[in-house]
Structure 1
């Protein structure tokens, strides 16, 4: 009897050991967001909301503890919240970092809009963040040299890495070492930022990493065309989680999957990945998940979001009276989505440019605004409030009345059309192209004539249209409105125009 029990015990141990034997296969999950500017739900609470994303995050962690949460760039700016002052300082993304800290992000990439904020403010956000950042091609310019960006914690500087490594182990003991590379599009030149060639740096960082890890993934913030080129240059990447575009997409170049979710967490990508250490192959199954009102908000994150929303409601009253007043009813949705707003004339762009003319009592020949100034990436429908308009145009700024030569106006208009698909695409009022001819207020543009044009002040800085600056000899005069005039703030002009309808 003793012998039988001993054999049974031994066989049980052997059986359990065989069940827990390392099978060289491991599953892990990536939760991807990109281009998130709003911490609260959008479109009347219907979509988005970081508290809802955190609920999904926790569910995935329960499903598989080997889960990572990513943001593929663009989160510090722009947002209406970021423009307000708290304790004498502009928020400048502080609200986003606080929310992301509570969500325990595993890795974030630099996006071009991280450099909208000043060097000082960016350093504060880096120092405040409890999550790692990554980039191979952006460096901090100092007087002495270009160095990696860094976080300073308790007086100690921790450099942002060109690569990032994560170790996973599963229940049967399979271990895997995962590497990440990242690059950012050089579309936001700043004196304190040095951009390296994104393709050269992507290849170099991959080469430096590949022999020390089992598998490498991409976390990028570049145009889709750039991601496709990276996929061709580095065909062994199973997945590139990308940002910059604001509309979801899933592309495959060779065996490389390129994924982008919708901006403002309207959707997220869930990537369930199985890796075989023997074959060294990763099988990626990607699911686009809509973040909507059916998902319960995580209480901890919701508390932080609500705190910031309360601050916003209070502060906005210092800028405009009755911010929650319904100023217009949009029976047809006003289209401010990123892709159309940068590609064609939309009804929202038309309203903004009409309001710019309205701001000067229609005593201008035409009005122009760049699509990149319109940041809502959403459709506004039903009751529209003043706060909605401030979210559409978070940067604000003057409407300038500029006297300009016809030959330069034509060049500007042509450039705006050619810039289709970018933030330099121009929305127009009283400027239309008919049969290859530009018509200004229904009359053919005369290159020899002078015109009065209402411009958003950003356009005269030469960032989107390099030759359009106040120093151009064909810019004859620039009128800057006084603080008492509604044209002093493009948002107030739009509010006033809509209320007049």
Structure 2
């Protein structure tokens, strides 16, 4: 009997030892496949264009059924479509559609500041997606401070995005290319002053990928790839480029402008490195499928804008430069001045032959710039033209370069002396940028330059044709 008990004791002890040993083996980590899949969709520089968002939503929703998806924007979401720019909540239709599409993140573009600080605050607060920018400080004026970087997680994939905006808006200041009077309370730094502060963010965040989401332009993105090798990819904006290249083993992408294209980056990630990448630039103008619910919302925005009123007639197609000649001539007549100037970058669209719609003028001049007049001597005007380094459309007489000098003639081709006074009219962006040449207090007129052009056309029954003009001057 004692033998049987000893046997049972030994047996049971051995059983439990083996059982425990088996449990320990099965609880040991099983090697996992570290490969992860991700699709990133990206746009940039849509400048208020809405119509193709219904196609974008359809494409993205289809992809979400297959894999992890992130949707990102390279900035400049505003300025370029009067449906957005002249909405009673300026810019809101763009925010609304980006929310409904399901954007995850956007960097700040220079034209995000075009509406001014109060409106930007409202649009930021309405955004369901993240805003990032490492080289701006809102200085506690009420605008929500954007994150310098943000990590987005979709299921098992973590991607950290660093935001950067260009600061080439003014020669003697560090601001983006926007109206200087609309960013007076904000502080900007050059991207080169801050970018290395975030060299270790991928490790700090324990991210699978680290992407620079920039609004700096293609050339600067190339420079970043050459000089800051810690990024896994760069997704950019600002230069309106179609970019799909690799520099220093860092892929760089940009998807054109005006919502004509949607970039699609398909990634396989292994051990926090890109194992494979395929890229597809989807042409939205030829893509046919769309989300019907979102299309209905877009149609309503377009219809409610009421911008299809005919206000004039063009005898011929006008290129952007020819529009510049017409634009300054209309301003001169409407503002009742001797000479008008318009910066070439302020003419944003061409003009088709036939009826001129109110929407076309707002597309040509989307910035809601004010109208101002100055009284200046010919010498002061020459100093501005000679030293600003920029070219301008103009109306009122003739401006010519003769060697190292500038000659300004009136409409009867008489040369004006340097001490002769002229009343000039222009948009208020020009004196804000070139303030060292416009030192006196201007006269502010009670309408924007776009409203001035619309009023001119509504009160001028003659068709326009400026195809034979060449009123452009840049000192060389």
Q: TM-score category by the smaller chain?
A: 0.7 to 0.9
RMSD, aligned CA: 3.4
Matched, 1:81 2:65: no
Q: Tell me, yes or no, if the aligned pair for 1:410 and 1:438 is still in contact at 8 Å.
A: yes
Q: For 1:33-432, what aligned pairs fall within 5 Å after superposition?
A: 33-41=43-51, 49-62=52-65, 64-77=66-79, 79-84=81-86, 86=88, 91-142=89-140, 150=144, 160-168=146-154, 175-186=156-167, 187=176, 188=178, 190-211=183-204, 212-277=206-271, 280-292=273-285, 294-313=287-306, 323-325=308-310, 327-329=312-314, 331-332=316-317, 334-336=318-320, 346-359=321-334, 364=338, 366-376=339-349, 380=352, 383-397=355-369, 399-415=371-387, 418-419=389-390, 425-429=391-395, 430-432=397-399
For structure 1, list consecutive stretches of 5 or more residues without a partner in the other structure. 1-19, 42-48, 151-158, 170-174, 317-322, 337-345, 420-424, 473-477
Change (3 A) 1:306 1:369: same
Q: CA deviation at 1:292?
A: 0.9
Q: Tell me, yes or no, if the aligned pair for 2:225 and 2:250 is still in contact at 8 Å.
A: yes
* SS across alignment from 1:265: coil
Q: Tell me, yes or no, if the aligned pair for 1:399 and 1:487 is still in contact at 8 Å.
A: no
Change (3 A) 1:415 1:355: farther
**Any idea what the Cα deviations from partners look like across 1:238-291, whole Å, max 9, x if unmatched?**
32111122343445432223322222202222222232328x345443333222
**Partners in 2 of 1:311 and 1:259 — Cα distance?**
35
Change (3 A) 1:257 1:452: farther
- Partner of 2:452 in structure 1? 489
**Partners in 1 of 2:85 and 2:287 — Cα distance?**
31
* SS across alignment from 2:161: strand
**Partners in 2 of 1:225 and 1:299 — Cα distance?**
38
**Partners in 1 of 2:329 and 2:369 — Cα distance?**
16
**Partners in 2 of 1:202 and 1:307 — Cα distance?**
42
* SS across alignment from 1:489: helix
**Any idea what the Cα deviations from partners look like across 1:108-139, whole Å, max 9, x if unmatched?**
11112222334332222222111122122222
- Partner of 1:464 in structure 2? 433
For structure 2, list consecutive stretches of 5 or more residues without a partner in the other structure. 1-29, 168-175, 465-476
Change (3 A) 1:398 1:177: closer
Change (3 A) 1:393 1:192: same
- Partner of 2:3 in structure 1? none
* SS across alignment from 2:456: helix
TM-score (norm 1): 0.73
**Partners in 2 of 1:178 and 1:497 — Cα distance?**
56
Larger Cα-atom Rg: 2
